[in-house]
Amino acid sequence: MKVFHVITIYFAIIVISLLNSVSVFSENYTTGTATVIVTTKFKNLQNAENALSSQKGDNSSSIQSSYIIADKMSYKILETTALIKGEKAISIERLSTPCKARITYQILKDGTRNLLTLKVLSHKKGASKSWLEVSPE
């Protein structure tokens, strides 16, 4: 089982490395790597009608996005974001904050920061798996 987790981590790292080398990916977006303090994680609900302006009607649904706050910047967690603690891949629900982490991210033209990878380096005193209830302003 441990071998499976190690292989999964290496596979995630290889995929991210390959994505960074694809010309379409790298020419449209700036990428970066940093060691940061992740202070919290939160979920943001958006009205699908506002998010997808082409849809109209009375029945609107919600889109939920997850984010982390690291060094006073927000990073959107994608379905493809690789979260790693020790030698294991973890889900966002298992991420305890605050923690020190090494992150890789991309900055879109609109300023959105997408989180590509997060490797937990250490936890801070009082770290919790709880979510912030409201989006920070």
Sign of the torsion angle spanned by Cα atoms 35, 101, 115, 74: negative
Give the CA distances from residue 91 to residues 3, 7, 66, 67, 131, in Å, rounded to whole numbers and listed in that order. Answer: 19, 17, 12, 13, 13
> From first to last of its 137 residues, what are the pLDDT tens digits of the chain?
666 655 666 666 665 555 554 433 445 789 999 999 999 999 886 644 444 443 444 454 556 789 999 999 999 999 999 999 998 999 999 999 999 999 999 999 999 999 999 999 999 999 999 888 655 55
Predicted TM-score of the model (pTM): 0.68
Output the pLDDT for position 1: 62
